[in-house]
Amino acid sequence: MRRSFIARNPSILVFLACLALFTLAITLMSEATGAGLISTSFVKTLGKTLCLCLVAVAMDLVWGYCGILSLGHFAFFGLGGYMVGMWLMYARTEIIVAGSLANAPLPPTPAEISDAIGSQIFGVVGSSDFPLIWSFAHSFWAQMALVVIVPGLLALVFGWLAFRSRVTGVYLSILTQAMTLALSLYLFQNESGLRGNNGLSGLQNLPGVGAGQDAVSMWFFWGSALALALGYVICAWVVSGKFGSVVRGIRDDEARVRFLGYSVEGYKLFIFTFTAVIAAIAGALYYPQAGIINPGEVAPIASIYLAVWVAIGGRGRLYGAVIGAALVSLVSTWFTGGLVPSIRLGFYTVDWVDWWLVLLGLSFVLVTLFAPKGIGGLVDLITDRIAPNRHGADYGPDKGALREGEGRK
Amino acid sequence: MATLLEVSGVSVTFDGYKAIRNLSFSIGEAEMRAIIGPNGAGKTTFMDIVTGKTSPDEGRVIWGEKSVNLLKMNEARIAQAGIGRKFQRPTVFEDQTVHANLLMALKNPRPSFACLFYRPSTRDLDRVAQLADEVGLSDALMRMSGELSHGQKQWLEIGMLLAQEPRLLLVDEPAAGMTLAEREHTTDLLKEAAKTRAVVVVEHDMEFVRRLECKVTVLHEGSVLAEGSLDHVTANPKVIEVYLGR
């Protein structure tokens, strides 16, 4: 009855092994550390994909396990990116400015340096003063803390207001959409202090690092893989055990959980804030690889995509979310990159850059209607075939496997 | 015997319909009570009020020796204070095992952080096994509760209720949809529970109520029509008219 955490969740080991193999393979094929079979830009794409997998795991936790269909988690992802972007932009501009002012006849005062950095960063929005929100941008550690604090605090306040009013279901989804839309519209303004629609750019250049992009891309790739592995294990731990029981109970029958004496609001707030922090960390790793972040990234549609990934991959199983996010975002890159040949029908040419969204929408509808378990559900077929006597199967949804569990008592 | 729960002068109106009118009710610490009454008499609404699901327009609900006002508390706090409820339709967490269901119900700290770092102690596991044995689900501990038969789900829910160690059990139609043998087992479970705590059973079935051998409260149109032994209330002409006469 009391088996270890890993023994109860054998899928974790399988997942970690797959991730490790994948990381090793890419490392051996990259330009910086291997045979140079794949380009630096593709390594970046894969690194970014790992970050998207991490935010999908967070989405699965909040939606697949706790039943809160949040359509606003990309707001937290974007905020994490903005927080890390502020430090990257500041520190890099500081080095450039210091370099150019070093040749001046008089050594520059700190105020002069600050002004020069300000006019470099904010010139595009016709300003040169640092807004208040850039107060900590000079400090790496302070800004890294803000990666967690700012989105976490937003989720905490938003969640507290929403959950204590018992807003649930589609109303909560709409509310989260409104939140991410409001954030996006706010960031679009030049007065927001984050360079309006220009966003933050040049994030791929790490300040004070001489190494080329081929090496930097590998560092971020490894960092993303590590973050995904850690995030996956922590999320799997959170949903195992009694906490997981309560959270899944909330998903299935919230009122019943209340009558058992559990404060449903507290649990929802915990999950919502926790997943917002994971999303923010994923975003903080994503945007230095993307190189640029602008308010369009937190547009409502981004969060809807996130839900689509998790639905296609299989809701309520963490590896399903990873599969969904990886597959859909990579296929999306392939289609929208113009690499898929257009289909000429004579009277009309199907251009996949435009038609990809139709394909994605169609597959979302088909999966929801005909394969609610998603792609992750295919794993059930395999596990049944290989190990019909698997004792862990009592957690699986299949009837056959459950009977094995009965006999185990 | 000290009073455990006292409901006095409670009224609720839903859209102009008076579901509960000036209802007063009290129950002692180790007492079994059956509530009967025709459909719409306000039996379920009464439970909703006590457990915090519905707040009344007027009246008082006082709990325990410290005379706590239950109307100021939410559902979770009321449950923590020691009121357990079993619903008419069996409500268990169907995609979880019987074991997980019982473990979740077991009386332990409820806050999220305590729950996150909770690991079942040997004592807790023994208690779960003992409860499963009491409700006759020892062989089904590792089964998904969704697979259980209707009667087994009812028992699992009673087991979960006992696991909470409440001082008051509110049980809504526990025998609905059960076979005769299952009913007898259920009666025994409830009688056993009533030795150490208060049990309120809402039931339609007269035979089931007779077997409980307890004081009966008859509700009609949201207030108490009669109270006393089953023979006493069934001899009451008003009761015969509104309920038994049908």
Average pLDDT of every residue of chain A? 87
End-to-end CA distance of chain A: 9
What is the predicted pLDDT for the residue at B1?
Answer: 62
**Count of other CB atoms within 10 angstroms of residue A399:** 9
Is any Cβ of chain A less than 8 angstroms from the Cβ of B22? no
What pTM value is reported for the model? 0.90
Residue B49: band (very low, low, confident or very high) from pLDDT cuts 50, 70, 90: very high
Cα separation, A75 vs A280, in Å, equals 9
Cα separation, A279 vs A325, in Å, equals 13
Residue B244: band (very low, low, confident or very high) from pLDDT cuts 50, 70, 90: low
**Which of the residue ranges A35-44, A122-131, B226-235, B237-246 would you say has the lowest mean pLDDT?**
B237-246
Q: How far is CA B224 from the centre of its chain?
A: 18
The whole-number average pLDDT for the span A4-14 is 83
Paired sense of beta strands B3-14 and B223-228, if any: unpaired
pLDDT at A408 over 50: no
pLDDT per position as a tens digit, A97-153: 888 888 878 888 888 888 888 888 998 888 888 888 999 999 999 999 999 999 999
What is the predicted pLDDT for the residue at A390?
Answer: 32
**Count of other CB atoms within 10 angstroms of residue A46:** 22
Is any Cβ of chain A less than 8 angstroms from the Cβ of B97? yes
Is any Cβ of chain B less than 8 angstroms from the Cβ of A372? no
Residue B124: band (very low, low, confident or very high) from pLDDT cuts 50, 70, 90: very high
* B144/A266 CB distance under 8 A: no
* A267/B94 CB distance under 8 A: no
Look-up of token digits 């960063």: A121
pLDDT per position as a tens digit, A285-321: 999 999 999 999 999 999 999 999 999 998 888 999 9
What is the predicted pLDDT for the residue at A401?
Answer: 25
Is any Cβ of chain B less than 8 angstroms from the Cβ of A400? no
Tokens of B198: 């208060």
What is the predicted pLDDT for the residue at B120?
Answer: 87
DSSP H stretches of helix in chain B:
43-50, 75-81, 98-105, 112-116, 122-134, 150-163, 180-193, 206-212, 230-234, 237-239
pLDDT at A169 over 50: yes
Residue type, A140: F
**Count of other CB atoms within 10 angstroms of residue A163:** 20
What is the predicted pLDDT for the residue at A402?
Answer: 27
Mutation choice for A interface testing from B49, B55, B99, B104 by most A CBs within 10 A:
B104
What is the predicted pLDDT for the residue at A393?
Answer: 34
What is the predicted pLDDT for the residue at A318?
Answer: 92
A-B contacts (CB, under 8 Å): 102
Cα of B105 to nearest chain A Cα, Å: 6
* A406/B76 CB distance under 8 A: no
Cα separation, B75 vs A256, in Å, equals 10
Is any Cβ of chain A less than 8 angstroms from the Cβ of B94? yes
Give me the CATH code for the B3-244 domain, please: 3.40.50.300
Shortest CA distance to A372 belongs to which of A311, A299, A304? A311
Cα separation, A228 vs A234, in Å, equals 10
The string of DSSP codes covering A149-200 is: HHHHHHHHHHHHHHHHTT--HHHHHHHHHHHHHHHHHHHHSGGGSS-GGG-E
Handedness of CA A197, A90, A274, A268 (dihedral sign): negative
Measured between beta carbons, the chain B residues lying within 8 angstroms of A1 are 99, 125
Is any Cβ of chain B less than 8 angstroms from the Cβ of A165? no
Tokens of A35: 């045979």
Is any Cβ of chain A less than 8 angstroms from the Cβ of B236? no
What is the predicted pLDDT for the residue at A292?
Answer: 95
What is the predicted pLDDT for the residue at A346?
Answer: 82
pLDDT at B44 over 50: yes
Is any Cβ of chain A less than 8 angstroms from the Cβ of B67? no
Nearest CB to B96 within list A248, A258, A405? A248
pLDDT at A404 over 60: no
Nearest CB to A266 within list B53, B80, B112? B112
Q: 3-class secondary structure for A62-90?
A: HHHHCCCCCCCHHHHHHHHHHHHHHHHHH
pLDDT per position as a tens digit, B204-216: 888 888 888 899 9
The H-or-E segment that residue B7 falls in is: strand B3-14
CA distances to A199, B4, B9, B28, B209 from B25, in Å = 66, 11, 9, 11, 18
What is the predicted pLDDT for the residue at A2?
Answer: 55
Q: Helix B98-105 vs helix A241-252: angle between axes, to the nearest 10 degrees?
A: 100
Inter-residue contact B93 to B104 (CB < 8 Å): yes
Nearest CB to B115 within list A1, A246, A397? A246
Inter-residue contact A80 to A280 (CB < 8 Å): yes
Fill in the DSSP letter of residue B144.
B
Cα of B10 to nearest chain A Cα, Å: 21
Shortest CA distance to A49 belongs to which of A290, A232, A233? A290
The whole-number average pLDDT for the span B127-140 is 91
The most confident of the ranges A1-15, A142-156, B28-42, B198-212 is A142-156
Residue of chain B minimizing CA distance to A236: B116
pLDDT at A389 over 50: no
Is any Cβ of chain B less than 8 angstroms from the Cβ of A337? no
Collapsed DSSP state (helix, strand, coil) of residue B58: strand
What is the predicted pLDDT for the residue at A384?
Answer: 54
Give residues 68 to 87 of B whose Cβ lies within 8 Å of A.
Answer: 74-76, 79-80, 84-85, 87
Ranges of each domain in chain A: 5-336
Measured between beta carbons, the chain A residues lying within 8 angstroms of B119 are 2, 241
pLDDT at A387 over 70: no
Is any Cβ of chain B less than 8 angstroms from the Cβ of A385? no
The whole-number average pLDDT for the span A58-75 is 93
What is the predicted pLDDT for the residue at B241?
Answer: 83
pLDDT per position as a tens digit, B61-101: 999 888 889 898 999 999 999 999 988 777 888 888 899 99
Measured between beta carbons, the chain B residues lying within 8 angstroms of A395 are 97
Residues 6+ apart with CB under 8 A from B97: A394, A395, A405, B141, B142, B143, B144, B145
How much of chain A, in percent, has pLDDT values that exceed 90?
56
pLDDT at A381 over 90: no
Inter-residue contact A143 to A87 (CB < 8 Å): yes
pLDDT per position as a tens digit, A198-245: 999 999 999 888 888 889 999 999 999 999 999 999 999 999 889 999
